[in-house]
Amino acid sequence: MSSQPFMTDIAVLGGGFGGCLIARILGSIGYRVTVFEQGSHPRFTIGESSTPMADCVLRDLCRRYGLDDLLPLTQYSSAKRMPNVVVGPKRGFTYIDSSNYQPGQQQVAEHEMLVAASTSLESADTHWHRASVDQYFARSLEAAGIEAWERTRVERVTRENPSAPWELHISRLDDPGESLCCRALGIIDASGRGSPLGDSLALEPTVVGLRTRSGAIFGHVRDWVPLSEVTGGEHQTIGRHPYPMDQAALHHVVDDGWLWQLAFDNSITSVGWCVAPEHLPRRGESRDAWWRQRLRRSPWLERQASSARRIEPQGDWALIERMQFTRRRVAGAGWWMLPGAAGFIDPLHSSGIAHTMVSIERLARAFEVQPARRLPPLEFSDAYDATLRLEIEWLDRLVAACYRALPRFGEFTTASMLYFAATVAFEQARLGNEQLPANSETSWQELPAFLKADDPRVVGAVSEAEAILANSASIQEPAGRTEGNATDGDAALRRAVAGALAEINHAGLLAEATHPYYAHTAPSKP
């Protein structure tokens, strides 16, 4: 049964935090916004690790557009007091050479790296339990006067010509006989790889040109034991750690991949393996058996998982055969995709929330200067498209360099510094002398690309470091991942990469005096 079409200014596809946040912003500046979500809250989803940049941009957005109810999410000390929201503390990034980790041995520093992102627990970033955080965002829409439809599927999207309104043809999942038609001036796609807008515009996901190759198997578990507890008194380097190693995005690194663990305050931990697609369980193979076999690679992982039980998703571990994708276009006349729909690379280094925030900020700055609820011009859409695709390509380069180095932990930690150097440069552009306060008049044209993807100095330095890593065999002695495999070549490689990054290395990355324990990489928060 069809009903009469209804009108809105902006249709937002996807009711996660990104879709709800851009809906709140556009509603605050006078647009009529309708959000369409195929699922219903709360629902299991992954992408839970915030960063200093994610918090910075969200803070600016909240202050600029009067979103006081979302402001507590910008740091752990206030987020943990929010009603019905579950978070965990994230002091930084912890990397463990999981196959060779022996915390009781003198050479333990060769098998771990800690990169601080905050100076205290109070100012720490957060792990977002997305089911509760997304639900908090979604429930805020009603109070803001924004219409939201859950359990609705956008079947197809059409319009007669680029200047005509969009028509969204919608079915209600709880009433299969009911169909709706929504007419919208513009569409913001905050969905994901299976974007209905992408399908309607024949913008299929593609991996062409992408360097990173990884899939993932993941879920939420209860009673995963913190690594610091299972190592106990054997750990002898705690005095050198800039923060408790579990209060972080903790990465267990092995030859062909890595396992993440993000601990929330309610005894739930998000865990997931990222490996090459061919190393994931095959069709018909037991995912539980595969998972248990993986844990046996490290005695510490086995101990951490000894009493854990998976609670989400129901039925089995979630699996994505290959995570990477992009599209040949991600914005056009009257439509724009957020990063989750435009493309994705990998969760290594936790870039997802921050990238979404930066893209939302760019959209918001373009919309807020339009008169009488008009849409941003095609000039903006073209620039947004070019910038977002450039940022996805840039992320691919930074992450792929780390994956190439996986078989050797010393090289992996060095390769990770390409990402952190770009991140620190971007953070300093926001929090340092070029700070963009909430009341600034900075236009969308003046906002820097994510992780300085458009900065020739940053790109040039990283390119030089990439070339050094690609030829690292000429610097390092050949070695497998065996205990005590660090060589003079590891230090030589660090010095060579540090030299390449010198012009943009504002945080002392790769310095012999601090590596691998970085206590001060993030600028202070306002």
| pLDDT reading at 232 higher than 90 | no
What is the pTM assigned to this prediction? 0.94
Return d(Cα 78, Cα 414) in angstroms, integer: 34
Within 10 angstroms of residue 109's Cβ, the number of other Cβ atoms is: 14
- Checking 40-44 for CB contacts under 8 A at 24+ apart, the result is 40/150, 40/151, 41/15, 41/131, 41/134, 41/135, 41/138, 41/139, 41/150, 42/131, 42/132, 42/134, 42/135, 43/131, 43/134, 44/130, 44/131, 44/220, 44/312, 44/313, 44/318
Q: Per-residue pLDDT averaged across 108-131, rounded?
A: 94
Band the pLDDT of 240: cuts 50, 70, 90.
confident
| pLDDT reading at 334 higher than 70 | yes
CA nearest neighbour of 334 among 7, 2, 9: 9
Return d(Cα 254, Cα 403) in angstroms, integer: 11
To the nearest whole number, what is the mean pLDDT of the chain?
Answer: 91
Q: Per-residue pLDDT averaged across 144-163, rounded?
A: 95
Radius of gyration of the chain from its Cα atoms, rounded to whole angstroms: 23
Residue 491 is predicted with a pLDDT of: 92
pLDDT, one tens digit per residue, over 40-83 is 999 999 999 999 999 999 999 999 999 999 999 999 999 999 99
CB 47 within 8 A of CB 221: no
Q: Report the CATH number of the 87-128+213-320 domain.
A: 3.30.9.100
| pLDDT reading at 197 higher than 80 | yes
* CATH topology match: 1-48+129-205+328-401 vs 87-128+213-320: no
**For the chain, what are the domain ranges?**
1-48+129-205+328-401, 87-128+213-320, 405-434+450-526
Residue 184 tokens, joined: 């919208």
Averaging pLDDT over each range in 94-108, 173-187, 272-286, which range is the top one? Answer: 272-286
CB 128 within 8 A of CB 50: yes
**Strand, helix or coil for residue 274:** strand
Residue 481 is predicted with a pLDDT of: 45
Level-2 CATH architecture, domain 1-48+129-205+328-401 = 3-Layer(bba) Sandwich (3.50)
- Checking 284-291 for CB contacts under 8 A at 24+ apart, the result is 287/217, 287/316, 287/317, 287/319, 288/316, 288/317, 290/217, 291/217, 291/317
CA dist 40 to 28, 132, 134, 174, 509, Å? 24, 12, 10, 11, 43
**Strand, helix or coil for residue 406:** coil
Residue 107 is predicted with a pLDDT of: 77
| pLDDT reading at 390 higher than 70 | yes
pLDDT, one tens digit per residue, over 441-457 is 778 998 999 999 999 99
Return d(Cα 247, Cα 363) in angstroms, integer: 33
pLDDT, one tens digit per residue, over 261-314 is 999 999 999 999 999 999 999 988 999 999 999 999 888 899 999 999 999 999
Q: Which residue has the higher pLDDT, 507 or 270?
A: 270
Q: Per-residue pLDDT averaged across 377-406, rounded?
A: 97
